[in-house]
Amino acid sequence: MPDANKNRTECILCGDCCRQASPTLHREDLEILSRGVISQERLITLRKGEPIYSPYEEKPVYLDEERIKIREKPGTQECVFLDPDTSRCGIYADRPAQCRAQTCWDPGPAREVAAEAGLTRRDLFREAEMLIELMEEHDSRCSFDKLEGVFDRLHQGGGESIDEVIDTLAFEDHFRHFVAERLNLPPGALELFFGRSFSAMVRLFGFWVERQPDGTKVLLSLEK
């Protein structure tokens, strides 16, 4: 905790908390979502078993349950609702429970909220059983364990299983876009419905995906 915050007793709206991570949503935040304060495009699902950086433990951890979070600005840990010019929250009056509990001089209340059961996609889409079934099918066939497995085999085999990696990435990409098209899901919210794409997570294994002018995708090493 920064020394400047030790004797603080009230929020001065400096935005420091909002720059460290975006909030995880909880069931009590459903009311905010139902009013459209936060659009689906501003949300992302982190699925069970995926690695994330924990600001509380200050290290990478694997999730033991899924989480729905407000998005962070690309390449940062900063919440998308933080105004860069004023350092103010764009939805402060309707901020989620974790934000309301956040006090930089005492991390205890926010830790307690973070330990509570978070909002899940089943909570959010409880009236859309077909969509829930498809999301669960995606979780089963496109888990992070499966992505990690194909990269483990790639490294152990000296690159011989590159086709398996490419096929795995292609299947996951096809699954999410095929379902999105058939159910008319908003393209900007696919990371809420299906979590982070495999193509977005290959950087964890030292690779990245480049889209070619003809629409095809190429797997490239970050070392090159």
CA distance 34 to 135: 21
Q: Is the pLDDT of residue 42 over 80?
A: yes
How many whole angstroms separate alpha carbon 222 and alpha carbon 205?
Answer: 9
- pLDDT band of residue 4 (cuts 50, 70, 90) is low
Q: Tokens 């299983």: give the residue.
A: 161
> What tokens were used for 199?
């193509």
Name the band, by pLDDT with cuts 50, 70 and 90, for residue 11: confident
Quick: pLDDT tens for 141-178. 999 999 999 999 998 987 778 999 999 999 999 999 99
In this prediction, residues 85-99 reach a mean pLDDT of 93
Q: pLDDT band for position 135 (50/70/90)? A: very high
**pLDDT tens by residue, 191-217:** 999 999 999 999 999 999 988 888 778
Helix ranges (H only) for 78-161 are 97-101, 108-115, 121-124, 129-141, 144-156
Taking the C-alpha atoms of residue 127 and residue 132, their distance in angstroms, rounded to an integer, is 9
Compute the average pLDDT of residues 24-41.
95
C-beta of residue 101 within 8 angstroms of C-beta of residue 112: yes
Q: What is the dihedral of CA 95, 60, 201, 160, to 10 degrees?
A: -170
Q: Torsion over CA of 40, 46, 52 and 58, rounded to 10 degrees?
A: 60
Q: What is the pLDDT of residue 52?
A: 86
pLDDT at 122: 96
**Predicted confidence (pLDDT) at residue 129 exceeds the cutoff of 90:** yes
Taking the CB of residue 112, how many other CB atoms lie within 10 A of it?
10
Q: What is the structure's pLDDT at 3? A: 53
Give the pLDDT confidence of 47-91 residue by residue, as tens digits.
999 998 776 666 778 999 999 999 999 989 999 999 999 999 999
1 confidence band (pLDDT: 50, 70, 90) = very low
What average pLDDT does the chain have? 89
